Amino acid sequence: MDSALSDPHNGSAEAGGAANGTTRPPSTPEGIALAYGSLLLMALLPIFFGALRSVRCARGKNASDMPETITSRDAARFPIIASCTLLGLYLFFKIFSQEYINLLLSMYFFVLGILALSHTISPFMNKFFPANFPNRQYQLLFTQGSGENKEEIINYEFDAKDLVCLGLSSIVGVWYLLRKHWIANNLFGLAFSLNGVELLHLNNVSTGCILLGGLFIYDVFWVFGTNVMVTVAKSFEAPIKLVFPQDLLEKGLEADNFAMLGLGDIVIPGIFIALLLRFDISLKKNTHTYFYTSFAAYIFGLGLTIFIMHIFKHAQPALLYLVPACIGFPVLVALAKGEVTEMFSYEESNPKDAAAVTEGSKEGTEPSASKGLEKKEK
C-alpha cells in the first residue's frame, strides 16, 4: 500500500536531484500551490461521493454491489499484510528488472482500472441515455459444485448501459497503457479510491480505530524508519497514487515534475468517514454532524501534511496527521453531545440481511437511507 505524500523532484531528501545527474529547475510557488491544491481536491472527491454511494450500497440488492465488510480481526491483520506486500514489492524491484515488473503490473491494473472506472461512471452516464435505449439485462454466474453443494463464486448482474460504460473506460485504459499519462493515471486512481470508499465497509467504529491505529504505525515506520515506501512509490508504475505536476504552468500537459499522494491516504480515512455518515443517518436526526466533522478533519490533516512536507522538504507519512484528526475530531464532538456510547455501540448489519430488509419493505413504505443499518443496544 502506497501511503505517503511526497514531492519527489523538489528538493526532497529521497530525490536529491534527477537520476541522470542533472538538477531540475525549482518549481515556482504558483506551480507548487496548484499541485498541492489539486491533490487535496482530488482526495476529497472520492471520499465525499464514495461515502454517499456507500449508503446506497449498504442497502443494495445486487450481489455485484454488495460491500465487503471489514471486521476487527481483519483490521488487526491488515497492517501486517500490507507490510509484507510492501516489502515484497521492494525486494522484487531490487532483484528483478523494473521494466518487466511494471509491464506485468500495467496489464493487471489495465483490467482492474477499466472495471473500476466503468463502475464509477455508470450512475452518471445513466442520465445521458435516451428513454428508448434498448437496455437488455445480463447476468454473469459462475458456480462450483452441484446440487446442494453448489456454491456461487461470481454472480454479477449488468445491462447494456454498463457495457457502454465499459467501452468508454476501455479508451482510457488504452491511453494509460500506451502513454502512462498522468491524467489517465489519475482517472484510474480516483476510480479505485471511490470504489474503495463505497464498497469497503467497517462494521463499527472500534474496528475503524483499530485499522487506522495499526496503519498509523505502519505508515510512520515505513516512511521514517526506511526508504522502502518512497522507493516503491517512485518505482511502481501503476495507478496506486494520485499525481499532479508542479511545472504544469511552464510545460502544460507534458509536465513531468510530480507531487504525489498514495491512494491509501484516501481510502483508509475515507471508509472511516463513510462509516460516520451511515452512523449519522442511523441517528435519524436529519443532520450529518459526524460526517462533516470528520470530513473537515481530513482536510485539516492533509493540509497539515502538505505544510510539514513543504517546510522540511521530506516525504511525509500522511496517516501520521490524518489518523489523529479523523478519529479525534468526531470523538470530541461525541463527547460534547453525550453520544460516545451510541457511537461505539453502532453496528452495521450483514449486507445480505440489509438487502432482504429493503426488499421486504418495498410495499407500503418508502425505503429510507438508513435501511440495512442498525444500532446495537448494550
Nearest to 224 by CA among 312, 88, 316: 316
Rounded CA-CA distance 138/252 in Å is 43
Which 3 state secondary structure label does DSSP give 202? Answer: strand
**Cβ–Cβ < 8 Å for 190, 39:** no
Terminal C-alpha separation, the chain: 36
Continuous H helices in 126-204 = 160-179, 182-199
Q: Which residues contact 78 (CB under 8 A, 6 or more apart)?
A: 70, 211, 214, 215
Question: In this structure, what DSSP letter does residue 346 have?
Answer: E
Catalytic residues: 219, 265
The answer to whether the CB of 323 falls within 8 A of the CB of 337 is: no
Tell me how far apart the alpha carbons of residues 317 and 230 are, in angstroms, rounded to a whole number: 10
Residue 258 has which C-alpha cell?
Answer: 510530480
Q: Concatenated DSSP letters for 85-122?
A: HHHHHHHHHHHS-HHHHHHHHHHHHHHHHHHHHHHHHH
Q: How far is Cα 31 from Cα 245, in angstroms, rounded to an integer?
A: 8
Q: Residue 219 has which C-alpha cell?
A: 505508515
Do residues 351 and 370 touch, judged by C-beta distance below 8 A?
no
Do residues 263 and 241 make contact, with C-beta atoms less than 8 angstroms apart? yes
Distance separating alpha carbons of residues 276 and 346, to the nearest angstrom: 10
